[in-house]
Amino acid sequence: MKKYKSILLIVLLFSIQLKAQDDLTNMKKYWFYHYRLVNDFLAKGDKQGESEPMGQRALGASNSSTAKWGDQTICLAQYISVLATEYKLLHDRSQPTDTTVQELYYALRAFNRLDYTAETNTSYCTDANSLNGFFMRDDVSYNFLINHPKLAQGVTSGRIVNIVKSDYLAHLNTGDRGDEMSQDQVMHLMGAFALVRTCIPLGVSYKINGISQPLNVADPNADIYQEAINITDRIISYIKNSSWIIYIPHTAVNTKVYQGSDAYYIAYGFAEAANYIKWGSSSNLIYFPVVHRYSNPNYQDALSETSCVTPLPFTWMMNGQNAINFIHDDYKRDLIATVGDSWYTHSLIISTVKPVQIISFIKLDWRHPLKLFTEITTAFVNALELPKPVTLSEVSSKVKGINPYNYYHFPLLYQALHGNNAFNYISPNTYTSLLNLAPPCGPYNYSYPNNSSTYEWTADSRVYDAEDRGKGTTDSYGEYNGLDYMLYYNLYHLAADNIIQPTVPTVNYMDRVITIPFPTTDNPPFGTATNPANLIAFNTITASNIANSNSVVTYRAGSSIVLKPGFTAKSGSVFHAYIQPTDPSTCGEYINTNNRSSTPDYTRQTTFVNYPKSASTEYAYSSEVTTPTNDNKNNEVSKNTTSATSVNTQNAPETMQTVSGILVNPNPNNGTFQLMVTHKNQSIGVKEIKVYDMMNNIVWSIGSAEDAVFNIDISGYKPGIYYVRSVNTLGEVEMKKLIKQ
């Protein structure tokens, strides 16, 4: 029996070790996908066509030179969804979010640009530019790749593209009306704005020189959370005000958009989704004659309420004619129902009044009109098959139903927006297996299975076109942007918080912040001569930690390493910092893109990518061009000092503040102690104080305060070493070790 227990323990430990390696691999893969996205599939910025994700690179064949922007607002919605969930994961783990916020700012600006300029770029419209909720799908012009040679050349792809295929260009060249908005574009955007509303706190904005930047040309709002609500309001109000039909504005005769114009059949779902984005709480209120999920259902009207109880089939509308129901439509209905937490299915009809209800009418007391009205109303409402809240069980069963397309992200999306536990219905292993199967250099398909990703990642989008897995035509072949993997990764890890114990912490591999001391207290310790600490970042490393005398630590970053006040490499430690240039022939630190069947080597510490933190438009006349220099290749800094040093290849040295002080009494302690932050031996107010455990998890924190003395209680945590980090009102940073007995 002891022998079998030992074998079982070994198997358990081995499986935990494998899961830890999978988690680390997938996290690094996520950040490489992000790097690949912003270098090979979009040009970050605010000019025409910028911050709009390309769907396919090298469209049709591996030697193709065509880049495709098709249904781009769907790609943009997925991009916004990824950034919103990425922000929450990073913010909740005290990781840098500045670049994520910047990308989200430009993505929202891109959508507002498509809204503002839609009138002057749409057939039949005689109106001037207007920010009114009517939008076009993209504005990528024929010379976009000429103006963006880096995007055309590619960084990780190895496939040069110089031909643009976009809905905007097709409209200009042939009069094709495929660049007009449609209801399916709106559905995807509702999912994106719901995640922004849920994951981004009020007050987050993109700042330049400390000044918040407005998110559109028509009003000064800079708050990202509020802008998601504002855009939703513009879109849904525009459709609602036209009786839930999407028309082109200011046409001589009301002209419907070419595709997906009749939103009446799903108006109830649209209104409930918009109500969630605006109000964010459910109440299950009955407003005769239907049930509303939200305490203020102001996007509903008589038409939308009628649509949920009218037995009309949902049909795809094209050029005013009923056409075949696409497989996509199940996806779209499920998406809008999940966002609004309410069904809007059209099988809801007024049922036959039951005899018992007719009898109840006879027994009514006609002498009391108010009571009579209440009882008749109740009987009538009970006779309806009303829309009902969506349950996570129903969402999960649909994605596992007959002929499933395995849209397993829906339960995760439901949990992110409305709570509950998706893993009660779909196993976590389902998600980890999907993540493990994603190719290290990004998804692609040029003929399954001989020249493609693994089956699960052979569609242009695993969260939208899953029915195309393992199939494909020349029009669907290409390298794909990877937003599907990124969204799955983020939603899975948001769902896993507090439910599944992660085996590795979430780390921003673009821009890393290091606060824990070396060696660590792990068993065996990390950061010693026998187990050295090699920490990497695609872009920057910012460190304010301590390298003790027996530590061996190496930092390697693609752009800059900043050693902030509080960083100490004690005498006897071995500390190195390297700036290493980009090698465009490799997938970051991973593998050669020309040999996609290779196994990635995630332990190599030699090659790094340069992740662009600033918007670089590559226009010759642009004042925003920022070209990081790598003149000091393999630049090394070795420190055995307590002073702060900045190594920065982008000529942006950080101003180092005078080190402040932290007084802790008592220390060691039992988890309750008093703390004072000082400057020149005098108490001073703080911008924030955070207490970390050895895994860099925050166990106690406080924001801006003027208190002289703080009473801190971490007695509920296990004994060991902790670290307190303070930022005083002067911006000075200090760290101090705590010992909880």
Q: What is the DSSP string of 550-593?
A: T-EEEEEESSEEEE-TT-EE-TT-EEEEEE--B-TTBSTTS-BT
How many residues belong to the chain? Answer: 741
165: left (phi over 0), alpha (psi -120 to 50) or beta: beta
Q: Looking at the predicted structure, is the pLDDT value of residue 337 above 80?
A: yes
CA angle 290, 296, 301 (to 5 degrees): 50
Which band of pLDDT confidence, cut at 50, 70 and 90, is reported for residue 648?
Answer: very low
Give the tokens for residue 184. 């399916």
| CA–CA dist 290, 305 (Å, integer) | 7
The number of beta carbons lying within 10 Å of the beta carbon of residue 402 is 4
* Cβ burial, residue 328 (10 Å; 0-12/13-18/19+): middle
Buried b (16+ CB within 10 A) or exposed e, 265-301: bbbbbbbbbbbbbbbeebeeeeeebbbbbbeebebbb
How far apart CA 98 and CA 508 sit, in angstroms, is 11
pLDDT at 703: 87
State the Cα–Cα distance between residues 401 and 408, nearest whole angstrom.
11
Is 547 strand, coil or helix?
A: strand
Q: How would you class 170 by CB atoms within 10 Å of its CB: exposed for 0-12, middle for 13-18, buried for 19 or more?
A: middle
Q: Would the pLDDT of 355 be above 60?
A: no
Indicate the SS3 state at residue 155: coil
Mean confidence (pLDDT) of the chain: 77
Give the DSSP H or E segment for 56. strand 56-57
- DSSP SS3 for 256: strand
pLDDT digits 0-9 by tens, 473-505: 778 899 999 999 999 999 999 998 767 766 566
Question: Would strands 66-69 and 56-57 be described as parallel, antiparallel, or unpaired?
Answer: antiparallel
Nearest alpha-carbon partner for 437 in 459, 416, 454: 454
The residues, ordered by sequence, that sit 6+ positions from 592 with a Cβ below 8 Å of its Cβ are: 585, 586, 598
Give me the helix-helix angle, 98-116 and 224-240, nearest 10°.
20
Residue that wins the pLDDT comparison between 138 and 725: 138
Q: Alpha-carbon distance 609 to 624, whole Å?
A: 21
In this predicted structure, what is the pLDDT of residue 534?
84
The reported pLDDT for the residue numbered 219 is: 82
- For 282-286, 440-444, 574-578, 594-598, which range has the lowest pLDDT when averaged over its residues? 594-598
List residues bridging with 721 in a β-sheet: 739
The residue with greater pLDDT, 307 or 207, is: 207
What phi and psi, each to the nearest 5 degrees, are found at residue 225? -55, -50
Q: Is the pLDDT of residue 627 over 60?
A: no
Per-residue pLDDT band for 3 (boundaries 50, 70, 90) equals: low
Residue 317 burial class via C-beta count within 10 angstroms: exposed 0-12, middle 13-18, buried 19 and up? buried
Span 266-282, pLDDT tens digits: 888 899 899 999 988 65
Highest mean pLDDT among 295-304, 445-454, 483-492, 638-647: 483-492
pLDDT tens column, 430-439: 999 999 999 9
Verify cis geometry, omega within 30 degrees of 0, for the bond prior to 666.
Answer: yes
Residue 637 pLDDT level (bands cut at 50, 70, 90) = very low
| Euclidean distance between CA atoms 741 and 544, whole angstroms | 25
Angle of the 72-92 helix axis to the 98-116 helix axis, nearest 10: 150
% pLDDT > 90, the chain: 35
How far is residue 376's CA from residue 615's CA, in Å, rounded to a whole number? 63
Q: What is the pLDDT of residue 332?
A: 77
392 within 8 A of 415, measured Cβ to Cβ:
yes
Eight-class DSSP state of 730: T
The distance between the two most distant Cα atoms of the chain, rounded to a whole number of Å, is 95
pLDDT, mean of residues 232-238: 97
pLDDT of residue 625: 25
Q: What percent of the chain has pLDDT over 70?
A: 72
pLDDT of residue 140: 96
CA distance 116 to 121: 10
Torsion from C-alpha of 464, 467, 473, 478, nearest 10 degrees: 40
> Given this model, what pLDDT does residue 626 score?
27
Does pLDDT of 291 surpass 70? no
Instruction: Give the per-residue pLDDT at 19.
Output: 62
The count of other CB atoms within 10 Å of the CB of residue 496 is 18
What is residue 56's predicted lDDT score, i.e. its pLDDT?
96
Of 293, 373, 33, 329, the closest CA to residue 184 belongs to 329
Euclidean distance between CA atoms 376 and 373, whole angstroms: 5
Number of Cβ within 10 Å of residue 205's Cβ equals: 18
608 pLDDT higher than 70: no
Minimal CA–CA distance to 77: which of 617, 579, 463, 601? 463
Where does the pLDDT of residue 621 fall: very low under 50, low under 70, confident under 90, or very high at 90 and above?
very low
pLDDT at 652: 30
Quote the pLDDT of residue 365. Answer: 53
Angle between helices 409-418 and 183-199 (to 10 degrees): 50
- In the predicted structure, residue 639 carries a pLDDT above the cut 70: no
Judge whether 158 and 594 are in contact, CB under 8 Å: yes
Going by C-alpha positions, the residue among 631, 660, 622, 659 that lies closest to residue 644 is 659
Please compute, for residue 36, the number of CA atoms within 13 A of its CA located in the half-sphere on the CB side. 32
Tokens of 144: 């976009």
Q: Report which of residues 583 and 300 the model is more confident about.
A: 300
677 touches 662 (CB < 8 A): yes
Give the DSSP H/E element, type plus range, for residue 111.
Answer: helix 98-116
Report yes or no on whether pTM surpasses 0.95: no
Spatial contact of 121 and 171, defined as CB atoms under 8 Å apart: yes
Least confident of 281-290, 294-303, 401-410: 281-290
Helix (H/G/I), strand (E/B), else coil: 735: strand
Alpha helices (runs of H) in 587-723, residue ranges in sequence order: none
Residue 497 φ/ψ, nearest 5 degrees: -55, 130
The Cα 143–Cα 171 span in angstroms is 15
pLDDT in tens, 534-565: 888 877 889 999 999 999 998 988 778 888 88
Q: Which of 139, 129, 135 is nearest to 43 (CA)?
A: 139
The yes-or-no verdict on residue 581 having pLDDT over 50 is: no
| Partner residues linked to 637 by β-bridges | 577
pLDDT of residue 610: 57
Burial of 341 (0-12, 13-18, 19+ CB in 10 A): buried
Token pair 């904005």 is at which residue? Answer: 205
Q: Which of 34-38, 377-381, 580-584, 694-698 has the highest mean pLDDT?
A: 34-38
Q: Is the pLDDT of residue 150 over 60?
A: yes
What the block records as the tokens of 306 is: 């009628």
pLDDT surpassing 80 at residue 60? yes
